[in-house]
Amino acid sequence: MTMPIVSFSDLSKHSRQVAETIDRFHRVHIKRRDGEDLFISTARHDRQREETADVAARMIAALLASDEGVRAVLHALPLVFPWARHLSADEGREFVQELVDATRDAVDLDVHATLHRVIVEWRATARILADPALTAQLTRSLPEEDPDRQHRLRGRLASGTLGGRECPQWEYEVTAGGRVRYLVDEHRRTVHLVYASPRHPKDTDA
């Protein structure tokens, strides 16, 4: 069933007709010109969506409790996420477990961003693994470099805020003047690039 699309102005001008459309289709897409689009649904529809996600998460979690179930889930994974074929068996298991955990967060805690992040991060990983040359470059053993070229900043530059959390800020001296700065998100095991320039930043000058 195609979801109806209604303009925000129609919602404000013809609320009764829009409410009738929601009752008939259970969910409506509200288009806005000056902000993010909205979705309005009936409470019953939302409860059913939550129950569907809950059942799916429980089913997958139950399958993962046995070796045979794990093999079945891993076999089905590329059918749902075609790019998952580039993941190793261990990576596939890790991806599935994170999917289950993120789905449980969506159902139990109403936190949906985690599921989106898990899919985006694993898809980005698969995109790299699909390129053998790039994979070899990123997994090669790195030479021991001058430790003074990479260091954590101090003072007011020692950390930055990321998603409401403070993360340590590091700097890498690419050239005599070029600098790259990044925040280390230890909780998510990622780094976030915050600055890259061929010119020396002025805020660390003595």
Q: What is the pLDDT of residue 189?
A: 75
The alpha-helical segments, DSSP class H, found in the chain are: 8-13, 15-25, 43-63, 67-80, 89-109, 113-129, 132-139
| 101 pLDDT above the threshold of 90 | no
Residues 56-99 pLDDT 10s = 888 888 887 888 988 888 889 999 999 999 999 899 989 988 98
What's the whole-model pTM score? Answer: 0.62
Positive or negative CA dihedral for 186, 192, 198, 202? negative
Among 120, 101, 119, CA closest to 111: 101
Q: What is the pLDDT of residue 111?
A: 80
CATH class of 1-41: alpha beta
Q: Is 103 helix (H, G, I), strand (E, B) or coil?
A: helix
Residue 139: pLDDT band with limits 50, 70, 90: confident
β-pair type (150-152, 27-31): unpaired
Q: What is the pLDDT of residue 188?
A: 72
Give the full edge-to-edge strand order of the sheet including 38-41: 5-7, 27-31, 38-41
Domains of the chain by residue range = 1-41, 45-139, 149-204
pLDDT, mean of residues 192-200: 85
In this predicted model, which residue has the larger pLDDT, 19 or 204? Answer: 19
